[in-house]
Structure 1
C-alpha cells in the first residue's frame, strides 16, 4: 500500500491499478527491471506481472529493452506538463535563477504535497557544488526536517498539519547535526517563524549548509519555499547569518508579490 494513502480509503482502491503503480515504482527505483525481479520484489506470479507489463507497453508508459523494462519518455512529457502548469514554478523560476546567479551557489524552489517536500526547480551558480546530488533530489520526494526549504515550509504550516507530518515521517537522522528530538525541532520551527527564515547547518549532508525562506499567499497560506545552499567553507560568518538570509527572503517576497499581482490580473475584483 502506498505510504501516502489514508487507511480509510483502502476499500475504494482498485487492486489492479494499485499493482500497476507498484510495478512502475519498482522499475523506477531499480532504473529498469526484469519481469522476474518485479515478481520477486512484489511477491506476484510472473504471469500477473507480464499482464501488467503488456498493458503498460500497449499504452506506451514503458518500453522493453534487450535486458529489462524501462520507463518511457511519456513520463517526462507528463512531468514537464505538471511542472509547467504549477503557478509557483512558472512565476518563481526567473527569480530563483537570479538568486543562483547572484550568490554563485545552488538555489532551490520547493513546495509541499501529501506531507512531503517536492523540489520543483534547481538552479546553479558558477560556484555551485554537488550538481548530481541536487539533481537526484528533483526525482524523489523528500522529508522536511533536515532541509532549509522543508523547515521554512513546516514553520508556517498550521500546527495540526505539522504534527500530522511528523507523526507520519518521524525525524530520521542523516548526520550528527540532524534534529531528531521532537520538542527541540518544534522549538526550532518557532524560532524560524520569529526570524522569517531557516537554516540547514549540515543537517542533511556533512559539509553543506543552506538558508531558506517560505513563500506564502496573501492569507499566509504556505505555497512553497526557496533556498540557497553551498559548502560550509563559503556559507559562514556574516554571509551565512546576514547576507544570504536577506537575499533569500527578498527572493521569496518578490515571488509572493508576482503571484499576488498575477492573481489580481486573473480576478481583478477579488481581494
Structure 2
C-alpha cells in the first residue's frame, strides 16, 4: 500500500518510524509500546518488527520480550560516514584552521538541504562541542554552518526547511523567532560569515565561512567552536583563520572535483 497522494510506501514509512522509535528509546522496547506510541495495530506492529529483525535492523531479545537495534544499523552508519567523508585536502585545511585559531575546527558539507559534519579537527586543549561529531546534521537555525546554509536558500526553500526542522530553543539564547532569524540571515549574506553566540551550547560559540565549488555554488563550510569569552576577545584573529580556511577549502574542493572528473574521463 502507498501513502495517499504522497508517493511514499506506507509500509516502508511505518518501518522507518519503528526504527526511529527504537533508536530513541533508552533501552529495549516491547511490541505493545511500539504499537501504542505509533498508533498501529498489534498485528501490523509484529509484522514490521519481524521484517526488521529478519533484515538485521532490529534484534529480538526473547528474555525481555523486547526489541533493540541490530548490527545492520551500525553498517549503515559506517556507510554514511564513508560517503560523507571530507577529501584529504579538505581535512588538512581543517587541521590548519584548528592550529591557527586554537579551536576545534569543522568541515560541514551541504547534502540535500542539510549541513552534515564531515570532519572534525580537535585536541585535548581545544575539543569539539560534544554533540558535533561526524554525521551531525540537526538544528540548522542554531549552528553557524546551519545559518550559512539557510542564508543561501531562496525564501520558499528556507521556510520549507524550517517547517521540517522547526526552530526549537536549544539554549536560552537560541534564536527561535523566524522574523529575527530572517534578519540574522540577511546579515550573514551581507558579511559572508555566520556567528552564533551561546545558541547551540551555553558558554560556547561558533563561527563559519562558506565553501563554494568551481561554479560559485555553496557546498559546505569551515567552522570553529570555542568558549564565548575567547571568541569575543580574539574575534578578529579567529575570523581571519576561518575566512582563510574557507578560501583554502574552496580551492581544495575545486582541485578534488577536477581530479575526480579526470579519472572518470
Matches within 5 A, 1:112-151: 112-129=110-127, 132-135=130-133, 141-151=137-147
Alpha-carbon distance between aligned partners in 2 of 1:94 and 1:145, rounded to the nearest angstrom: 28
Residue 29 of structure 1 pairs with residue 24 of structure 2: yes
- Bigger drift between 69-78 and 214-223 goes to 69-78
Contact preservation (8 Å) 2:194, 2:208: yes
Correspondence 1:154-165 to 2 at 5 A: 154-165=150-161
Q: Look up the match of 2:259.
A: 265
Please say if residues 89 and 109 of structure 1, whose CA atoms lie closer than 8 Å, have aligned partners that are also in contact.
no
Gaps of 5+ in 2: none
**Quick check: 1:86 aligned with 2:84?**
yes
Determine the C-alpha separation between the residues in 1 that align with 2:259 and 2:67. Answer: 47
RMSD: 2.7
- Write the distance in 1 (CA, Å) between the matches of 2:198 and 2:99: 23
Query: Are 1:218 and 1:260, in contact at CA under 8 Å, matched by a contact in 2?
Result: yes
Q: Is the 8 A contact 1:83 1:89 kept in 2?
A: no
Q: Match for residue 75 of structure 1?
A: 73
Q: Which 10-residue stretch deviates more, 225-234 or 152-161?
A: 152-161
- The alpha carbon displacement at 1:21 in A equals 0.9
Distance 1:263 1:252 in 2: 16
Task: State whether structure 2 residue 40 is matched by structure 1 residue 39.
Answer: no
Q: CA deviation at 1:9?
A: 5.3
Q: Distance in 2 between matches of 1:73 and 1:168?
A: 29
How far 1:139 sits from its partner (Å)?
6.0
C-alpha contact 2:143 2:199 (8 A) present in aligned 1: yes
Q: Distance in 1 between matches of 2:5 and 2:251?
A: 38
Matched position secondary structure for 2:201: coil
Aligned pair partner of 2:248 in 246, 251, 254: 254
- Out of 101, 105, 108, the position equivalent to 2:106 is 108
Tell me which residue corresponds to 1:97: 95
- The counterpart of 1:245, out of the listed 222, 239, 243, is 239
Q: How many angstroms does 1:217 deviate by?
A: 1.1
| Superposition deviation, residue 22 in structure 1 | 0.9
> Unaligned 5+ residue runs, structure 1?
1-6
Q: d(CA) in 1 for partners of 2:135 and 2:50?
A: 25
Q: Is the 8 A contact 1:149 1:227 kept in 2?
A: yes
TM-score (norm 1): 0.81
- For 2:119 and 2:182, locate their aligned partners in 1 and report how far apart those are by CA, in whole Å: 27
Distance 1:8 1:116, change over 3 A: farther
Shift of 1:44: 1.8
Count of aligned pairs between the two proteins: 257
Deviations along 1:72-99, one digit per CA (max 9) or x if unpaired, are: 2322222222332336466533332343
